[in-house]
Chain A
Amino acid sequence: MSTELLIQYGVIPIIQILVVMIVVLTVVAYGVYAERKILAFIHSRLGPMRVGPWGLFQPIADGLKLLMKEDLRPSVADSLIFVMAPAILMLAAFSALTMVPFGEGTTMFGYEVPYVIADVNIGILAMLALSSLSVYAVVLGGWSSNSKYPLIGALRGAAQMVSYEVALAFTVVATLMIAGTMSTVGIVEAQRELGAWFFILQPVGFVIFVICMVAETNRLPFDLPEAETELVSGYFTEFSGMRWAFYMLGEYAAMIVMSCLAVTLYLGGWLRPFPNSELTAFLDVIPGPLWFVLKGFMFMYFFMWIRGTYPRYRYDQLMTIGWKVLIPISIANLFFTGIIILLVQAAAG
């Protein structure tokens, strides 16, 4: 009995944590590399080429460099909060990743291994709640620096993140009405039962979700909080070395979380296109988790692509889009979805 408990609460969590950390850190390191390469190609440049073949060891060199950088803490900064802020960002991103369903699960060494770490029945709500904790990292990081640029960046960041969170929540609710469950695994299963990924049933919702996703992660064209041309680098201006690295890591981890959320909610998680159709059955040669990862990378590429393509919004434009466009459309979408569901129910009898 005690060995069972030890395995369940000791060995398995440690393995899971190690796997997720290694995967996330690798994806982040090579995500930064990929972003630099993609932006370079968009600009007709080569990007990092010096460290290793095609600059492939650049992320390792960058990591080592950041680890060996001097740790500066402004004398006027609120030191406790200044130290805590990057940790909050990591906490938000990592704990949200536990609810991501990568696949149906397998059996290994006689133990059932689900490809989701925490299959809780409020999965989507918990993911949204935990990932939005990152707004604390933005506000506390900017405020504790006791410097003017970070303060402006933090205020902008907080206002932007909470504004777009409202529209995001309303669109997610419309999807949950179709799925009838908040469990992340359940939502993917609902898409299998209906035979269609939810972005087909929720086209408007999908578009709003993608816009909000970019705004929530503070990426271009919504990167007002760190607008480097006006605010130096926004809320983490005073952070250097490893603390700065954790802010960058947190931003990438937030991108990963948002991509996973989008794949789960709208792109059918680990399912192939048209999961009930015989025509696409040959696509099952690609295993479920790989489907999930490929779709996730598609979103990651999308983040980098629009960064290279669009200019930054003005702050008043940003708030206008959030409050006057996205929120009314998402509420209308919610009730439109409700009416369609009722009509379908009535037609089915």
Chain B
Amino acid sequence: MAAYLPIVFFALAAVGMVSGAMIAGRFLRPTPVQSRGKLEVYECGIEPRRDARQPFSVRFYIVAMLFLVFDVETIFLFPWAVQFQQLALFGLIEMFIFVAILLFGYFYAWQRGALEWV
């Protein structure tokens, strides 16, 4: 596991850099009195009328669900790809069946219009 340690160090260093720069900036930047209008969200100069937490297009959920299926699939593909030259024809057929089941669902979703955006 020692090989993974540098990744952790780098992740910590990145967070450290962001917080360091924010703290250093605190001594440099001006801190004028904040007015209510200044702290409002940007809406092209008009006072925002409603909260941004509103319902949005259901298509984004569909994309997220399709992505989940495909992404889990690719996780299975990675170790298979590494061992592919040993698994040879058996591995190829096995994976073809596995992907074919997924593709069935994919074409079903396509046919039902889940991939249409207009």
B101 interfacial contact with A, CB 8 Å: no
Q: Is the CB of A237 within 8 A of B117?
A: no
Question: Which of A76, A150, A166 is in CB contact (< 8 Å) with B70?
Answer: A166
How far in angstroms is the closest Cβ of chain B from A171? 10
A341 interfacial contact with B, CB 8 Å: yes
CB neighbours (8 Å) of B71 from chain A are 162, 165-166, 169
Q: A91-B11, A126-B7 are in contact. Are A67 and B28 (CB under 8 A)?
A: yes
Q: Is the CB of A169 within 8 A of B77?
A: yes
Question: Which of B10, B28, B56, B103 is in CB contact (< 8 Å) with A155?
Answer: B56
Binds B, one of A112-120, A198-206, A215-223, A261-269: A112-120
Q: Is the CB of A335 within 8 A of B96?
A: yes
Q: Is the CB of B14 within 8 A of A94?
A: yes
CB neighbours (8 Å) of B30 from chain A are 68, 70
Q: Mark B44-84, 1 if CB is under 8 A from A, else 0.
A: 10001001110011011001101100110010011001111
Q: Is the CB of B42 within 8 A of A173?
A: no
State the CA gap A166–B57 with chains docked (Å).
22
In the complex, which of the residues B22, B43, B51, B60 has the most CB atoms of chain A within 10 Å of its own CB atom? B22
Q: Is the CB of B115 within 8 A of A319?
A: yes
Q: Is the CB of A316 within 8 A of B117?
A: yes
> Interface size for chain B: under 10, 10 to 19, 20 to 34, or 35 or more residues?
35 or more
Q: Is the CB of B88 within 8 A of A232?
A: no
CB neighbours (8 Å) of A58 from chain B are none
A270 interfacial contact with B, CB 8 Å: no
Q: Mark A86-121, 1 if CB is under 8 A from B, else 0.
A: 110011011101110000000000000000011110
State the CA gap A67–B14 with chains docked (Å).
17
Interface residues of B, dominant DSSP: helix
In the complex formed, the residue of A with least CB distance to B15 is A87
Question: Which of B5, B43, B51, B64 is in CB contact (< 8 Å) with A162?
Answer: B64
Q: A70-B30, A71-B25, A73-B39 are in contact. Are A170 and B77 (CB under 8 A)?
A: yes
CB neighbours (8 Å) of A181 from chain B are 82
State the CA gap A196–B67 with chains docked (Å).
33
Q: Is the CB of A67 within 8 A of B41?
A: no
Task: List residues 291-323 of chain A with CB under 8 A from any CB of chain B.
Answer: 315-316, 319-320, 323
State the CA gap A117–B26 with chains docked (Å).
33
State the CA gap A69–B29 with chains docked (Å).
6
Other A-B contacts than A76-B51, A159-B64, A323-B66, 13 sampled, CB-CB below 8 A, are A70-B29, A72-B38, A73-B39, A76-B41, A93-B14, A119-B3, A146-B51, A150-B52, A180-B84, A237-B42, A327-B106, A331-B99, A334-B77
Q: Ordered nearest first, which 3 A-B pairs have the shortest CB separation?
A: A147-B41, A316-B117, A94-B14
Residues of A in contact with B (beta carbons under 8 Å apart): 9, 13, 16-17, 20-21, 67-77, 83, 86-87, 90-91, 93-95, 97-99, 117-120, 125-126, 130, 145-152, 155, 158-159, 162-163, 165-166, 169-170, 173-174, 176-177, 180-182, 232, 237-238, 241-243, 246, 315-316, 319-320, 323-324, 327, 331, 334-335, 338-339, 341-342, 345
8 CB-based A-B contacts, threshold 8 Å:
A71-B22, A87-B14, A120-B7, A163-B67, A173-B74, A176-B78, A243-B22, A331-B99
